Structure 1
Amino acid sequence: MKHQPSSNACQHLGLASSKVGEVMICPECGVVHLSLNHVSLRFDVEAFRVLAYMLAEAQLNIESYDARLPKTPEAPHVTGFEIAPGKKMH
């Protein structure tokens, strides 16, 4: 995950972006950059692949959990994973 000796800086190629952040890669050194607001993480391609699969599995589990929750007319979008208003998640 090191820069090539002839490289002064990564030339980022955008892979994906959304309102929460972006994913870029440096084609020269193979580093994947994940930027989420004030946090930036760097991965080699295989580590990023493992992270992506883990996140996809977590999302499937969340959807499965949501499907089992009883739906109430008062709060149709509330799930067991939401944070109560005014509360901060640590």
Structure 2
Amino acid sequence: MSDVVNAAVTALQSKMNGESFDGTAKFVIEGEGALVIDGSDVRAGDEETDVTLTSDQETFEAILSGDLNPTAAFMGGKLTIDGDMSKAMALGGVLS
């Protein structure tokens, strides 16, 4: 597991601040690995989830820091979403 994924897990746990996500989601950071959100648990992993979001490291970090809106990233082609689009939208609410 990469240092980028480890740092992302820590940052995402902090960002969620104990909030729970109704479902499972996976963030794939191209060239680095993946992390999974399952309820209120965030961990490194690559199992099947309800929705998978894929981006490069720079885009992921910008979304996580609040500098880039996930919808804008998706519309701009910087973020791809595979799976349940409603779960992706709900995840945006948990992370904001």
TM-score after normalising by structure 1 = 0.28
Structure having greater relative contact order (Cα 8 Å, sep ≥ 6): 2
Structure number having the greater helix percentage: 2
Q: How does the TM-score come out when normalised to structure 2?
A: 0.27
